[in-house]
Amino acid sequence: MTTKSSHIVLQSLISSFNNHSHIGLRDFLDQKSTYWDPAVGTLNGLDEIIEHAELAWIKFPTRQIEVSVIIGNESVVVAEIICFDSASRDESTTKLATIVCNVENNMAQIIRNYFDQKI
């Protein structure tokens, strides 16, 4: 899979996931076996996003968690993990983490982590 097509797949998966956020991200990806092979394990840094989304569900089980792609191109994806207090998505939004994924060498770096803040 080329980096360009893998980025398109990443955006597609995240977009689809955000529309089905009643299930865990890893479970959702396992259902999309065309794009995701659990035996291989990762899709260009997506594991880091998955781990943070899962941590968000554990820490904030009553809130809606969403993954948002801020910047995306052939080589870099910047994603945010966002927490909503309610379905209305009003001012009660909390940013939990910002993650930079280098899709060319499959490295991810957490540039901001807000999980330890009291919410």
Q: pLDDT tens-digit profile of 3-28?
A: 445 455 555 666 665 555 555 555 55
Residue 9 lies in a domain: yes
Q: How far apart are CA 114 and CA 119, in angstroms?
A: 10
Q: pLDDT tens-digit profile of 48-93?
A: 677 777 777 778 777 777 777 666 555 666 777 777 766 555 556 7
Q: Give the domain range for residue 89.
A: 3-113
**Contact residues for 93 (Cβ-Cβ < 8 A; gap 6+):** 82, 83, 84, 85
* DSSP 3-state of 18: helix
Residue 118 lies in a domain: no
User: How many domains, in total, are found in the chain?
Assistant: 1
Q: pLDDT tens-digit profile of 26-44?
A: 555 555 544 444 444 445 4
Residue 119 lies in a domain: no
Decide: pTM greater than 0.75. Answer: no
